[in-house]
Amino acid sequence: MAKKKRLTSLEKEIIQLLKSYPDASVPSPILQEALGLHGKKGAKKLNQALHNLRNKDQIRMTKGNLISINEVYVDENKYYEGILDVNKYGDGYVVTEGRDQDIKVPSRYLDTALDGDLVKAVVTHYHKKSGKPVGRVEEVIKRGKTLFVGTLATPAKNTYIIHPDEQSSRTDFFVEAKDLNGATPGDKVTFRLVQWSDVRGLPQAKIMQSLGVQDSNEAKILSILAEHQFDSKFPDQVEAFAETISDRIPEGELQRRKDLRDETTFTIDPVDAKDFDDAISIKILDNGNYYLGVHIADVTHYMPRGSELDEEALNRGTSVYLVDRVIPMLPERLSNGVCSLRPNEDKLAYSCFMEITPGGKLVDYSVEEVVINSSKRFVYEEVQEILDGKKHELKNTLKTAEKLAKTLMDNRFKAGSINFETPEPRFILDEAGKPVDVIIKKRLFAHRLIEECMLMANKTVAMHIDNLRNHSGKGKSENNHPFLYRIHDQPDLEKLFNIRENVKPLGIEFDVKKQIKPKDINKLLDEVKGTSMEEIVNGLTLRAMAKAVYSPKNIGHFGLGFSHYAHFTSPIRRYPDVIVHRLLKRYGSGGQEYTFTELNDVGEQCSEKERYAVEAERESVKLKQVEFLTERIGETFDGVISGVTENGLYVNLKDVYCEGMVHVSDLKDDYYIYNSQRHCLIGRSKGRQYRLGDEVAVKVVKTDLEKRHIDLTISEQ
């Protein structure tokens, strides 16, 4: 019997700590802090202990100094459930909860699983070099994607084949002639999986819609939509249901509600908006306090829970704002018509009234069903002109709202809300959808004005639920007034460490602690404001943030610095707001609408749909950026280095706010070596450096519309 290798006290401490997180890989700096080992001496002591433990086969270490406990055996009877993520090479990774390391599944062991499926997998062994788990798919539990995009090929021997667009799709699909749905070879199509029971054959598909000729703007945009599981059309039965809804408000409903039709209310929206789901009213009370009313389209009045309309809205989860169109969550009859708070029309609304002191403190509130008649439909630019001095009959009202909004905003930032400012590109398109110009959207205080009012209402209704819960006498039960919160967790420490290392060579000290606070991030953002690093650090910090999600488990909202927050103000375009309205109404009448478990499930679904929508919006912008630069190959642009890797430089072009890459092989004036500690490329002979934040002039040399890639070269070389 082999003699057991004795561990030092520090080595035992490391093993004990890693055993607490058996499926995690812990970065070396975090391990050092957790063990209380300070400075260079502490780092040296830790490195020696880690070296000893690795030699004793107690731990695994990756190139990036990620440390994890070593697995001593493989149990092929232990199954893991997770989402399958297939890369462009056809290999899969099963992402499971509770395991920091994904299970790699080579393509030949994926069976009939497709990208996005919920699968059951088993670990068969650990990779000799990396120590990472490798396994196989045992069962497809649930198909992840219901909608696919591809190109219908010319048939061979009466067999129609669809070549999927996604690089992660490792197989073609076949479709029977009866399921072509009018599509012809060469068309871009959306399709659904019919069945795939045997990996030795192709999966069978049914075409849902032809998007037209493959390279047309319509096909490209609708493909992005479908790739992210959104349909541009509503089912016939849903459109039919919407048509049955009357836009006439019954007299009994008018009598039942608080009547605000004689009050001055107004909307503020973009110039091209049609779905007006929020209006405000404001006045000064005799005691000097503000009385703010936030009035929200009462979608739930028209959309019974469980109806065809409701099921479709839940399935969509959100409206999608692509570069050239909006794909609404609700049919246009509702989103732009019946529910929309259009000016000079009687509309049903659900309102949050708030009494706020001149210092910005909420002292009283109520949530009530109302009927309003919007006095004015403003656009942001018009409101800004009035705030800046232009005469208007509602100028005093707008100035009152401006004063309150400034107070609320100042208080929010003082309390720790993070002040992100990221530029947004907007494209000028011709009739064919081709981008002819790109401009950066101007951020006005008129935007802030309406945002602060909405934030206040969202915070107030979430706090209202806590008040109901505390006075119910039912204690801390999950089903004591369960609610759907908008929550935002602490940022990723490893990514914050990466930011710290990126800004250190620039002389910026970013102190990263275990418990990071919003004020620490604000301090960093203030330090880079007005410099070439501003957009880069804003972007890096945003990517380090946890994703905000919907959940009945309230942990507060880190980014806003709110202990209570919910989405109440946009039920025309967000399904969680519909749920919040239903909960508030039912609790107001003494009943219950959803259980905690139901809210947990629907929160996860809505969070996923929101993520898909954001990805689709980004992809549509990226498409237009690549199209724009495709017409400008050979032209030179000023840019800022936004990323440095051993493969090359990422450069953000100033004029178009678009990122491309300079490959290291295209840096012809020297042989460049990546310095990981200083996050820069250094020329071996001449010593020239390319660092994060450096301003460079670059030339567009190549674009790839399908992959949405842009290749650049340094123009002065």
Q: Where is pLDDT greater, at 29 or 148?
A: 148
**Quick one: tokens of 178?**
């009866």
The amino acid at residue 590 is G
Q: Which residues pair with 636 in a beta bridge?
A: 699
- pLDDT at residue 92, as a whole number: 92
Same domain? For 110 and 124 the reply is yes
Given the structure tokens 């076949």, which residue do they identify? 174
Q: Does residue 62 have a pLDDT over 80?
A: no
Residue 254 forms part of a structural domain: yes
Helix (H, G, I), strand (E, B) or coil at 567: coil
3-state secondary structure 393-459: CCHHHHHHHHHHHHHHHHHHHHCCCCCCCCCCEEEEECCCCCEEEEEECCCCHHHHHHHHHHHHHHH
Please tell me which of 61-65, 270-274, 334-338 the model is most confident about, judged by mean pLDDT: 334-338
- pLDDT at residue 183, as a whole number: 93
Expressed in angstroms, the distance from the first to the final Cα of the chain is 66
- pLDDT at residue 22, as a whole number: 62
Residue 413 forms part of a structural domain: yes
Backbone angles phi, psi at 340, to 5 degrees: -65, 130
- Whether 552 and 608 have beta carbons less than 8 Å apart is answered as no
> How confident is the model over 138-165, as a mean pLDDT?
88
Question: pLDDT tens-digit profile of 634-672?
Answer: 999 999 998 899 999 999 998 888 899 999 999 989 999
CA distance 58 to 15: 8
Q: Degrees (nearest 5) of the Cα angle 558, 561, 564?
A: 90
- Contacts for 650 with CB less than 8 Å, ≥ 6 apart: 641, 642, 643, 644, 659, 660, 661
Same domain? For 206 and 132 the reply is no
Residue 588 forms part of a structural domain: yes
DSSP 8-state class, residue 358: T
Same domain? For 572 and 457 the reply is yes
Q: Which residues pair with 156 in a beta bridge?
A: 159
246 CB-side CA count, 13 A: 3
CA distance 514 to 524: 17
Q: Does residue 420 have a pLDDT over 90?
A: no
Question: pLDDT tens-digit profile of 680-700?
Answer: 899 999 999 998 888 999 999
- Whether 368 and 353 have beta carbons less than 8 Å apart is answered as yes
Residue 495 forms part of a structural domain: no
Considering only CA atoms, give the Rg of the chain.
28
> How confident is the model over 600-618, as a mean pLDDT?
95
Given the structure tokens 């099963």, which residue do they identify? 94
Q: How many CB atoms lie within 10 A of CB 677?
A: 8
CA distance 659 to 505: 23
Same domain? For 394 and 298 the reply is yes
CA distance 645 to 626: 22
Same domain? For 154 and 63 the reply is no
The enclosing domain of 663 has a CATH number of 2.40.50.140
**Quick one: tokens of 165?**
């667009």
- Whether 424 and 441 have beta carbons less than 8 Å apart is answered as yes
Same domain? For 436 and 474 the reply is yes
Count of positions (residues) in the chain? 717
What is the β-pairing status of strands 66-69 and 26-27?
A: antiparallel
Q: Degrees (nearest 5) of the Cα angle 335, 339, 344?
A: 115
Listed range (26-30, 358-362, 559-563, 604-608) with the worst mean pLDDT: 26-30
CA distance 91 to 78: 21
Residue 571: band (very low, low, confident or very high) from pLDDT cuts 50, 70, 90: very high
The enclosing domain of 173 has a CATH number of 2.40.50.700
CA distance 494 to 126: 24
Residue 223 forms part of a structural domain: no
Same domain? For 259 and 110 the reply is no
Q: Does residue 497 have a pLDDT over 60?
A: yes
- Contacts for 41 with CB less than 8 Å, ≥ 6 apart: none
Same domain? For 191 and 294 the reply is no
Q: How many structural domains are present in the chain?
A: 5
CA distance 4 to 390: 84
Residue 137 forms part of a structural domain: yes
- pLDDT at residue 32, as a whole number: 83
Q: How far is the CA of 282 from the CAs of 340, 348, 372, 450, in angstroms?
A: 20, 19, 14, 12
Backbone angles phi, psi at 540, to 5 degrees: -60, -40
Residue 2: band (very low, low, confident or very high) from pLDDT cuts 50, 70, 90: very low
Given the structure tokens 């399904």, which residue do they identify? 575
What is the β-pairing status of strands 658-663 and 695-704?
A: unpaired
> How confident is the model over 358-366, as a mean pLDDT?
97
Question: pLDDT tens-digit profile of 98-146?
Answer: 676 789 999 999 999 999 899 999 988 877 677 778 899 999 999 988 8
Helix (H, G, I), strand (E, B) or coil at 562: strand
- pLDDT at residue 471, as a whole number: 84
Residue 168: band (very low, low, confident or very high) from pLDDT cuts 50, 70, 90: low
Give the DSSP H or E segment for 467: helix 445-470
CA distance 11 to 52: 8
> How confident is the model over 334-354, as a mean pLDDT?
97
- pLDDT at residue 575, as a whole number: 98
Q: How far is the CA of 95 from the CAs of 101, 310, 332, in angstroms?
A: 8, 31, 38
Q: Does residue 4 have a pLDDT over 60?
A: no
- pLDDT at residue 1, as a whole number: 37
- Whether 460 and 567 have beta carbons less than 8 Å apart is answered as no
Instruction: State the average pLDDT for the chain.
Output: 90
- pLDDT at residue 21, as a whole number: 67
Greatest Cα-to-Cα distance within the chain, rounded to the nearest angstrom: 93
- pLDDT at residue 35, as a whole number: 85
Helix (H, G, I), strand (E, B) or coil at 162: strand
The beta-strand segments (E) located in 319-404 are 320-321, 326-327, 346-356, 362-373, 376-379
Same domain? For 465 and 443 the reply is yes
Residue 422: band (very low, low, confident or very high) from pLDDT cuts 50, 70, 90: confident
Backbone angles phi, psi at 122, to 5 degrees: -130, 145
Q: Where is pLDDT greater, at 475 or 553?
A: 553
Same domain? For 254 and 177 the reply is no
Residue 518 forms part of a structural domain: no
User: What pTM value is reported for the model?
Assistant: 0.83
- Whether 402 and 450 have beta carbons less than 8 Å apart is answered as no
Listed range (3-7, 343-347, 517-521, 630-634) with the worst mean pLDDT: 3-7
Same domain? For 50 and 85 the reply is no
CA distance 526 to 329: 38
Residue 432 forms part of a structural domain: yes
Q: Does residue 513 have a pLDDT over 80?
A: no
Q: Does residue 72 have a pLDDT over 70?
A: no
- Contacts for 330 with CB less than 8 Å, ≥ 6 apart: 242, 299, 303, 309, 313, 339, 572
Question: pLDDT tens-digit profile of 169-186?
Answer: 778 999 999 999 999 999
- pLDDT at residue 508, as a whole number: 80
CA distance 97 to 90: 23
Same domain? For 270 and 350 the reply is yes
Spell out the alpha helix ranges (H) of 139-205. none
> How confident is the model over 305-317, as a mean pLDDT?
96
Q: Which residues pair with 313 in a beta bridge?
A: none
CA distance 183 to 35: 63
- pLDDT at residue 3, as a whole number: 42
Q: Does residue 538 have a pLDDT over 50?
A: yes
Q: How far is the CA of 45 from the CAs of 52, 58, 67, 295, 610, in angstroms?
A: 11, 17, 15, 61, 46
Q: Does residue 461 have a pLDDT over 60?
A: yes
- pLDDT at residue 609, as a whole number: 96
Among the listed residues 340, 295, 346, 349, the one whose alpha carbon sits nearest the alpha carbon of residue 319: 340
Q: How many CB atoms lie within 10 A of CB 289?
A: 19
Using the 3D structure, point to which of 142, 174, 196 is the last residue of a domain: 142
Q: How far is CA 246 from the centre of its chain?
A: 35
Structural domain of residue 92, as residue ranges?
79-142
Q: Does residue 515 have a pLDDT over 80?
A: no
CA distance 170 to 168: 6
